Structure 1
C-alpha cells in the first residue's frame, strides 16, 4: 500500500494532533468542571457541560487525524526500510 500524504505532512499532522488533543482536553475539562476561569463572567456560556461536549467532539476528530497520520507515517517508515527510492 502506498502512502497518500508525504512523510513531512504525516509527521507534522501527528505533532499538531497530539498538541491539539492535549490542549483541547484541558479546555474541555475546565468547561466540564465549570471552572470559574471558563464560565465565571456574564459573557461566557451559561452551560459549561454543553460546551465541553463540543470540545471533546473536536478531540475525537483530532484523534482520528492522529490515527490516520500515524498510519501514513508507518507506511513511510516501512517503505524506506525496503530500500524504495523516493523522488522528492
Structure 2
C-alpha cells in the first residue's frame, strides 16, 4: 500500500494529535470533576459532565487521526527501507 500524504504531513498530524489528546483529556477531566476553575463563574457551564463528554468525544476524534497518521508514517518508514526513490 502506498502512503496518501507526505512524511512531513504525517508527522505533523501525529504531533498535533498527541497534543490535542493530552490537552482535551485534561480539560475534560477538570470539567468532569467540576473543578472550580472550570465551572466556578456565573458565565461557565452549569453541568460540567456534559462538557466533559463533548471534550472526550473530541479526544476520540484525535485518536482516530493519530491512528491514521501513524499508519501513514509507518507506510513511509516501510517504503524507505525498501530503497524506494522519493520524488520531492
- Secondary structure of the equivalent of 1:83? coil
Partner of 1:38: 38
Q: Which residue is equivalent to 1:13?
A: 13
- Within a 5 Å distance, the mapping from 1:27-66 to structure 2 comes to 27-66=27-66
Q: Number of aligned pairs?
A: 88
User: Is 1:82–2:82 an aligned residue pair?
Assistant: yes
Runs of 4+ in 1 over 4 A off after TM superposition: none
Unaligned 5+ runs, structure 1: none
- Deviation per CA, 1:23-67, whole angstroms, max 9, x where unpaired? 000000000000000000000001000000000000000000000
- Aligned-residue RMSD, C-alpha: 0.3
Shift of 1:71: 0.2
Unaligned runs of 5+ in 2: none
Query: What's the TM-score once normalised by structure 1's chain length?
Result: 0.99
TM-score (norm: length of structure 2)? 0.99
